[in-house]
Amino acid sequence: MSYVRTMIQALEPRTAEQCDVAIPQSFIRQLSIPADSVVIQFGSQTHRAQVKGREAGRVVQMTPTLARSLLLPGGVPLLMRYDANSMRLIFGPYIGVLVSAYGKDPQVPFGSFTPFFNELVDISRQHAGVVSVFTFHDVDWETKTVRGMIRRNGNWQLRTLPLPQSIYNRLASRQRERSESVEMMIKRFREHDIAFFNEHFLNKWHVHKALSSVPEATEFLPKTICLGDLNDMKDMLDQHRFLYAKPANGSMGKGVYRIRRGPSGYQLASSYSAKTHKDLPSLHRALKKIGQGKNYLLQQGLKLIRSGGRTADFRVLVQKNGNGEWAVTSMVARIGAGSVVSNVARGGTMMQVKQALAVCGPWATNMKPSPQTLQRTALSVAEMLETSMGGQYAEFGIDLGVDIHGHIWLLEVNSKPSKATTSLNIPEGQEEVPRRARPSVRRLYDYAKFLGGFPKIKPTPKKRRKPLATKSLKKRNRR
C-alpha cells in the first residue's frame, strides 16, 4: 500500500478550472489518483470533492469550506493514501485515546499519564498524524464527532474532531470498563469500522483458563484454582510446599499473599506484614475476609531464582508493530523489595536481564535460559493468548519467572502495562541522555498507523553491484 506525507493548506486552489482540492502532480502519479470527483475522508468525516493536479511542492491545497467540513486541524503533517475501490482519498493516521477523566491541572491533564501522551503526540508530529485524548462523555454520535483534547504549541486544549480511525483503550477503571454504557460504545465504534484495541483489562482466571486450553501453553502454567471451600485449599497445600493467593482482577502486586505451612501453623504474608494461623479453617476464614466476596486464586508456589534473598522475575513488553505483528519491545528483570512480590510499584528494583541471569540463583542445573529464550516465550504467550481469548489487543506486559532448574513459568499477563517513566538506574559516573520518545510509544504509534491503513513500508533492499572481473581491472590499470 502506497501513501505520501503532506500538509493541508486551507486556501482556494489556483488551478485552471474550479476545484476543491489541488494535489501535487507527483502525488497524483504515485498514488494513481484520478483527476475527478472523489470522496475525501478524515476520521469519520467524509465529503465529495473535485480533485485537480498542481505543478509542484508537497502541500495539498484545499478550500477552507472543505477543510472545515472535514474538521481538519491546520498545520499538522498527515499521510495521504488513495483507495481505488471506494474512490476515497484518506488522510491520517488519526489516533484516539479513551481515558476515564481529565485532571484539573492544564499542565498535566492526565496525571501520571501526561508524559506518555506528550510523547505520543511528539511522535505523531514527527512522523505525521493527529492524536486526540477523550472521555466516554465527549463522543457525539449524532454528529459523529468527539470533543477531545489535542496538544497545540505545548498546551492541551479541547477541539471538536471527527471520530478517530482507531482508538487505544486506557480506561483506568475496571468497573467503568465493564459497564453497559461502555460496552455499547465499543460496539458502536466497531459498527463504524473504528478499530478499538486493548479492549479490556485481563482477569487472571480467564487468562489461565484460556491458555489451559492450548496444549503448547500448559508447560508454562503453574497449578491454579479459584479459592473455593476448605478442601480445595487443603488439596493445594498437600501438593505444594507453599502457595500464592492473588485477586483475579488485581494488578501491580496489590492484594497478593504467600501461604506457607510451618511447624506452628500456616503463615499468611504480604509485602508489608505476616500472620500465622493455627489451623486451615482459620486461614480459610482470613482469606475469605481479605477477598470481601471478590474472586481470589490459589496458585502453586514456585522456587524462583533470587538475588540476595529477594525474588526475581522478568517483565517483557510485547506489542504489535507497524505491520500488525507481535514483537518484543523491551525486557527487564525485577528484583523484589520483599519476599512476596517483585513489582516496582511495591518497592522492587530493576536490573538488566543478562545481569540478573548471571547474579541470581541458586541454580540446580546448568540449564539457564537465555534472554532470547525469554523473549520467544513471551511472544508465544501473546500469540496463544490472543488466539484463545479473542478480542483486539496491541500490547501485553508479560511476567515470567525462572525456577532454580531453569524452567520458565508464566506468572501474569497485563493488557494495560504501566506507562510510568521509571527506568533502570544509571551507572555511577554516567550522565542521563536527553529523553526521547520511548520505544513502546513509537511502536504504539506504528500499530495505530497500521490500523489507519498506513502500514510500515519496508525499505527495498539495494542491489549489490557485481564485482569487476580481475582481468578487466588489470587491463584498466595497464591503460
Can you tell me the distance from the alpha carbon of 80 to that of 1, in angstroms, rounded to the nearest whole number?
11
Report the CATH number of the 306-415 domain: 3.30.470.20
Can you tell me the distance from the alpha carbon of 324 to that of 453, in angstroms, rounded to the nearest whole number?
11
pLDDT at res. 404: 95
Domain residue spans of the chain: 4-92, 94-197, 223-300, 306-415
Can you tell me the distance from the alpha carbon of 331 to that of 313, in angstroms, rounded to the nearest whole number?
11
pLDDT at res. 295: 87
pLDDT tens figures, 319-338: 999 999 999 999 999 997 66
pLDDT tens figures, 130-175: 999 999 999 999 999 999 999 988 899 999 999 999 999 999 888 8
Give strand ranges (E) for 129-285.
130-134, 139-140, 145-152, 155-162, 166-169, 195-197, 224-226, 242-247, 257-262, 265-269, 274-277
pLDDT at res. 172: 87
- What CATH architecture applies to the domain 4-92? Beta Barrel (2.40)
Residue 133 contacts by C-beta under 8 Å, 6 or more apart in sequence? 96, 97, 99, 110, 117, 148, 149, 150, 156
Give the predicted TM-score (pTM) of the model.
Answer: 0.86
From the CB of residue 205, how many other CB atoms can be counted at a distance below 10 Å? 17
Q: Given 3-state DSSP classes, what are the helix, strand and coil percentages for the chain, each rounded to the nearest 5?
A: 30, 30, 40
Q: Do domains 4-92 and 306-415 have the same CATH topology?
A: no
Distance (Å) of CA 451 to CA 180, 193, 230, 286? 26, 11, 49, 48
Q: Is 223-300 assigned to CATH 3.30.1490.20? A: yes
pLDDT at res. 68: 94
Q: Angle at the Cα of 403 (from 408 to 333), degrees rounded to 5?
A: 75
- What CATH architecture applies to the domain 94-197? 3-Layer(aba) Sandwich (3.40)
- In this structure, the strands spanning 408-414 and 395-402 are antiparallel
pLDDT at res. 54: 87
Q: Which residues of 267-280 are buried (b: 16+ CB within 10 A; e: fewer)?
A: bbbbbeeeeebeeb
Task: Copy the grid coordinates of residue 425.
Answer: 538506574
Low-confidence ranges of the chain (pLDDT < 70): 1, 15-17, 252, 337-347, 420-436, 458-479
pLDDT at res. 228: 87
The answer to whether 286 touches 306, Cβ cutoff 8 Å, is: no
Q: Angle at the Cα of 112 (from 414 to 162), degrees rounded to 5?
A: 85
The answer to whether 18 touches 50, Cβ cutoff 8 Å, is: yes
Sole residue written with cell 503453574: 222
pLDDT at res. 460: 56
DSSP string, 261-316: EETTEEEEE-SS-EEEESSHHHHHHHHHHHHTTS-EEEEE---B-EETTEEEEEEE
